[in-house]
Amino acid sequence: MYAFHHAPRLFASCWRVTLVLLLVALCPATAAASEIIVKNDSIPPGTALPTFLPGERVASWLTAPISGNIVGVQILWGSLLGGNPAQLETAITVSAAGTFPAPGASLATIVQPTLVDGIVNEFRYLDPGTNLIPLSVPVTAGQTFVVDLEFLNQSFGNPLASSIEYDSAIQPGLNSVFVVPGGWAAAGPLGVTGDWGIRAIIVPEPSSLVMLAVGLLAVVAVGRRRGARHR
């Protein structure tokens, strides 16, 4: 008789416990969701381009394979002989896709990135000097976006200086150059023979199952409060 009388309360309690356990199990998996590196290059190995004039920019056009948030940008930076000092550049900008070869509206800007020779430089903050403002740009699956690097290039004129790396086979419509003066132009017709070493890091959206569990838990909580008022 006791078990029958208290069955609804026990059932609700079991549901709450189950939902809590489900959330505990799924949230760490969501937090540790696999990051996806989006690129159009095939580096390494790469080849350093000649240095660019201050104010010039190179851009990679990328497509998000899934919906999520851009949380990082990678720049492959190198020199012919290696071992060059780190270089301060002007900015890295994430933009909406405009009409190729010109990017669209700016979505986020990483100011004054320092690029180290011979490595994949990764930036996850808009303010690399202090790392207080995380980079976070929402994208949807299939959305095209643009990541570009603007040069300060204090070492312009040195043929051995570090610069953006590229691979051996350019893909049409995926790389552009901003030449001062002149504006944006497709990189291929200008003699570029590969794709820029510019990449983006995307974290997928949280699992819809987690969101469902949160909603169910909220429903149970509301039902519990209503039941308490009627006792």
pLDDT digits (tens, 9 = 90+) for 139-165: 999 999 999 999 997 666 677 788 999
Same domain membership, residue 68 and residue 20? no
Write the secondary structure of 153-176 as one string of H (helix), E (strand) and C (coil): CCCCCCCCCCEEEECCCCCCCCEE
pLDDT band for position 168 (cuts 50, 70, 90): confident
6 and 82 together in one domain:
no
Question: Do residues 158 and 24 lie in contact, with contact meaning Cβ atoms separated by under 8 Å?
Answer: no
User: Do residues 213 and 194 share a domain?
Assistant: no
Q: 92 vs 48, 66, 217, CA distance in Å?
A: 18, 22, 42
Give residue 151's pLDDT.
94
Based on the fold, state whether residues 19 and 41 are members of the same structural domain.
no
Per residue in 54-108, pLDDT (tens digit) is 999 999 999 999 999 999 999 999 988 888 899 999 999 999 999 999 999 999 9
Mean local confidence (pLDDT), 158-178: 89
Residue 188 has pLDDT above 60, yes or no: yes
Higher pLDDT, 31 or 144: 144
91 and 16 belong to one structural domain: no
92 and 167 co-located in one domain: yes
Residues 79 and 118: beta-carbon distance below 8 Å:
yes
120: containing domain = 36-204
**134 and 213 share one domain:** no
Tell which wins on pLDDT, 183 or 228.
183
Residue pair 57/150 in contact (Cβ under 8 Å)? The answer is yes
What type of residue sits at position 11?
F
Q: Using CB atoms within 10 Å of the CB of residue 109, give its burial: 0 to 12 exposed, 13 to 18 middle, 19+ buried.
A: middle
Is there a single domain that holds both residue 194 and residue 140?
yes
Q: Are residues 96 and 185 in the same domain?
A: yes
Residue 156: its pLDDT value, please? 65
- Note the helical H segments in 32-171: none
Same domain, 135 and 195: yes
Q: What is the pLDDT of residue 17?
A: 40
Q: What is the pTM of this model?
A: 0.76
Domain shared by 131 and 166, yes or no: yes
Domain co-membership, 78 together with 97: yes
Domain total in the chain: 2
